Amino acid sequence: MGVKSGGFGILGWVLMIPAVVVVFLILAFGFFEGRKAYWEDKVREMCEKDGGERVFETVRLNRQQYSLILNQFGQVSPPLENKAGDNVPIVRRFTSTYIRRNDPEVRRDELVVIRRSDEKVLGVSVSYSRVGGDLIALHPSNFSCPEKSKDIFSAIVRPNEEQK
């Protein structure tokens, strides 16, 4: 009489290992992708509420004032508030607020353009972003909104007409 096996033998368990690994990888991938999708949805939701750019007032500057807010490439880019000289008429304030510091990282960035003479806020640009959350990545994926940012500085600050 032969010996009868009542279930999986050693060979059965060895053949089961690749199947378990594949199932584990599928579950892990699904978890990470699901978590990224969840946070991207949250970022879209927050962006719909207060994301984007708002210009409250446009300002015309004379040639000397205008030259003080140009960067080395000749583009309008007011200096940061804490690095600007006293004679700079327009400055910017940038704030990043972390909504989630873990992986994935989620944050709100706010750029405020301020007239120095009266501290009036001339415009605000708010964006949200998700960085990371990948299972394996050499370079973490990211998502941000609004999709394309306009040049808020040029929308707010313009040279006097006679300078053109």
Two structure tokens written together for 1: 């009489």
Backbone angles phi and psi of 45, in degrees to 5 = -60, -45
pLDDT of residue 163: 46
Alpha-carbon distance of 90 to 111, in angstroms, equals 13
pLDDT of residue 162: 56
Are 117 and 57 within 8 A, CB to CB?
no
pLDDT of residue 147: 76
pLDDT of residue 138: 83
pTM of the model: 0.79
Q: Which residues of the chain have pLDDT under 50?
A: 163-164
Are 156 and 133 within 8 A, CB to CB?
no
Peptide bond just before 146 cis, omega within 30 deg: yes
The tally of CA atoms less than 13 A away on the side-chain side of residue 140 is: 14
